[in-house]
């Protein structure tokens, strides 16, 4: 029987802590003991179905991770929303820009938020979606010297428990200067991060997993604008703005968060690079090794440390598989049968030539078989052709 009125069904309105079963009711892994936790109507059962179906072994771990999202624009805002709905433990948001009406063609932000800083507007919206998530917002430009040091400090000490490092950094910025700043910080700290981007024509994008020392950093194979030390501002044409499609940004944000979940919860295949071309529906994948001559000295340092780790790992001896003889008992029921007996094969083989020791022939030239049809012999009787014709007439 369906209920009426405004009361919520107890089976549907549950706290995230009750469903996920982490810690005591009314507490959060990153909150102090005893501080009340907001009661939320959240469909955790849909997420927990991943565990019941065997996709994820321990989905509850999602609440123990802290992730930083740098750039809360078209991709970053949707990324933050998806992580919030997935039940991430803590989100750190970094952006210096404000919400404008020009942003309304994208997802997430609303017209009444125009004029607010993007991190402030995002925090307000995300708290309403899932108040069980811890939020930390910073409204500044990470590329300045002063802010860069604070940015590195929050990576090192802004984890779910204060003083511990965060688990992952997500780059959702729209310029190379900010990407290089994130790259520099993560190389120095040995912090794993993921980079994302959408093309200027808004019909392609990509994501990339960067593990310092193990995979190529952003400086190992830089774009031309970075490699040539070109001022990025000089490339922008006056009166021309980059295209923006909410569909492309939604797709890139989706594959980014999917990669984040696989990386944090250890399921599926984590992509080191995954591209997206909307014109051909093409999704290229690849992995890039770090450049030993990378301009970033911290990247080269991380490469050396990674090599030492690989050497220190216990060597696993490769087990050589024995060649199995295929016969009538194999799993396919196939039997190799020859129509020629060994004796017939030996008799039909030609002589084996004398060869130096260690050299054998693959096959011998078969013997020529003699014609088995008996030959008819004709005796000459000495009779002439006329006599023979006369005999035939008398027959």
Angle (CA) 174-178-182 rounded to 5° is 120
Among residues 41, 241, 294, 299, the one annotated as catalytic is 241
Bridge partners of 70, per DSSP, are 94, 171
The stretch 54-64 carries a mean pLDDT of: 88
Query: Given this model, what pLDDT does residue 342 score?
Result: 72
Residue 184: CB partners within 8 Å, gap ≥ 6? Answer: 296, 298
Residue 315 confidence class, pLDDT cut points 50, 70, 90: confident
Query: Given this model, what pLDDT does residue 242 score?
Result: 67
- At residue 264, φ and ψ (nearest 5 deg) are -75, -40
The better pLDDT of the pair 343, 291 is held by 291
3-state SS class at 171: strand
Query: Given this model, what pLDDT does residue 276 score?
Result: 93
For the chain, first and last CA: distance in Å? 117
CA atoms within 13 A on the CB side of 337: 5
CB 85 within 8 Å of CB 129: yes
> Considering the chain, what percentage of its residues have pLDDT values greater than 90?
45
pLDDT digits (tens, 9 = 90+) for 192-248: 999 999 988 888 999 999 999 999 999 997 665 555 555 555 555 554 456 778 899
- Where do the domains of the chain lie? 8-58, 65-233+240-312
The better pLDDT of the pair 391, 34 is held by 391
How many angstroms separate the CA atoms of 22 and 235, rounded? Answer: 51
Which among 13, 15, 8 has a CA at the least distance from the CA of 38? 15
Range with the largest mean pLDDT of 151-160, 243-252, 316-325: 151-160
How many angstroms separate the CA atoms of 126 and 120, rounded? Answer: 10
The better pLDDT of the pair 61, 44 is held by 61
Q: Which two tokens stand for residue 190?
A: 């040995």
- At residue 355, φ and ψ (nearest 5 deg) are -125, 160
H or E stretch including 169? strand 168-171
Average pLDDT in the chain: 80
Q: Name which of 206-220, 244-258, 307-321 the model is least confident about.
A: 307-321
3-state SS class at 227: helix
Residue 43 has pLDDT above 70, yes or no: no
pLDDT digits (tens, 9 = 90+) for 82-129: 999 999 999 999 999 888 887 776 778 788 888 889 999 999 999 999
The residue assigned the tokens 């080191």 is 272
Residue 9 confidence class, pLDDT cut points 50, 70, 90: very low
Residue 327: CB partners within 8 Å, gap ≥ 6? Answer: 335, 336
> Considering the chain, what percentage of its residues have pLDDT values greater than 70?
71
Query: Given this model, what pLDDT does residue 170 score?
Result: 97
86 is catalytic: no
| DSSP codes, 184-216 | HHHHHHT--EEEEEE-TTSSEEEEEEE-TTTS-
Query: Given this model, what pLDDT does residue 3 score?
Result: 41
- 130 CB-contact burial (10 Å; exposed 0-12 / middle 13-18 / buried 19+): buried
Query: Given this model, what pLDDT does residue 5 score?
Result: 40
Bridge partners of 193, per DSSP, are 169, 210
Q: Name which of 99-108, 170-179, 191-200, 272-281 the model is least confident about.
A: 99-108
Residue 42 has pLDDT above 70, yes or no: no
Q: Which two tokens stand for residue 259?
A: 């990669």
How many angstroms separate the CA atoms of 96 and 198, rounded? Answer: 19
How many angstroms separate the CA atoms of 63 and 134, rounded? Answer: 10
Q: Which two tokens stand for residue 225?
A: 């604008």
Residue 328 confidence class, pLDDT cut points 50, 70, 90: low
Q: How many CB atoms lie within 10 A of CB 175?
A: 14
Residue 387 confidence class, pLDDT cut points 50, 70, 90: confident
Residue 166 has pLDDT above 90, yes or no: yes
The stretch 330-357 carries a mean pLDDT of: 70
Taking the model in full, what pTM does it have?
0.68
Query: Given this model, what pLDDT does residue 391 score?
Result: 83
The stretch 373-394 carries a mean pLDDT of: 75
3-state SS class at 250: helix
Residue 46: CB partners within 8 Å, gap ≥ 6? Answer: none
Q: What is the CATH number of domain 65-233+240-312?
A: 3.40.50.720
Which among 131, 132, 148, 129 has a CA at the least distance from the CA of 140? 148
CB 270 within 8 Å of CB 263: yes
């Amino acid at each position: 029987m369906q209920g009426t009125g405004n009361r919520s069904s107890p089976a549907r309105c549950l706290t995230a802590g009750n469903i996920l079963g982490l810690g005591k009711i009314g507490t959060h892994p990153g909150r102090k003991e005893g501080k009340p936790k907001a009661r939320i109507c959240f469909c955790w059962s849909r997420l927990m179905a991943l565990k019941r179906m065997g996709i994820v072994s321990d989905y509850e771990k999602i609440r123990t991770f802290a992730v930083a999202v740098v750039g809360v624009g078209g991709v970053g805002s949707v990324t933050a929303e998806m992580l919030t709905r997935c039940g991430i433990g803590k989100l750190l948001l970094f952006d210096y820009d404000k919400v404008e009406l020009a942003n309304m063609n994208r997802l997430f932000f609303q017209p009444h938020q125009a004029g607010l800083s993007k991190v402030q507007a995002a925090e307000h919206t995300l708290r309403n979606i899932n108040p069980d998530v811890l939020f930390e917002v910073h409204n500044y430009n990470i590329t300045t010297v002063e802010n860069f040091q604070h940015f590195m400090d929050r990576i090192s000490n802004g984890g779910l428990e204060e003083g511990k490092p965060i688990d992952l950094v997500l780059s959702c910025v729209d310029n190379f200067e900010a990407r290089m700043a994130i790259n520099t910080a993560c190389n120095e700290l040995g912090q794993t991060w993921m980079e994302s981007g959408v093309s200027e024509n808004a019909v392609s994008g990509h994501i990339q997993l960067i593990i310092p020392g193990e995979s190529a950093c952003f400086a190992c194979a830089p774009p031309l604008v970075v490699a040539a030390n070109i001022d990025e501002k000089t490339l922008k044409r006056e009166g021309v703005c980059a295209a923006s499609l909410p569909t492309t940004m939604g797709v890139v944000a989706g594959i980014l968060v999917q990669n984040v979940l696989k990386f944090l919860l250890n399921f599926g295949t984590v992509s080191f690079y995954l591209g997206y071309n909307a014109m051909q529906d093409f999704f290229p994948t690849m992995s890039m090794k770090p450049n030993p001559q990378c301009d970033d000295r911290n990247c080269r340092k991380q490469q050396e440390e990674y090599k030492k780790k690989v050497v220190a790992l216990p060597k696993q001896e490769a087990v050589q598989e024995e060649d199995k003889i295929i016969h009538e008992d194999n799993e396919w029921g196939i039997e190799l049968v020859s129509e020629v007996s060994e004796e017939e094969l030996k008799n039909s083989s030609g002589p084996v030539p004398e060869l130096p020791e260690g050299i054998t022939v693959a096959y011998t030239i078969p013997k020529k078989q003699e014609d088995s049809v008996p030959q008819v012999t004709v005796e000459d009787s000495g009779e002439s052709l006329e006599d023979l014709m006369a005999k035939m007439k008398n027959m």
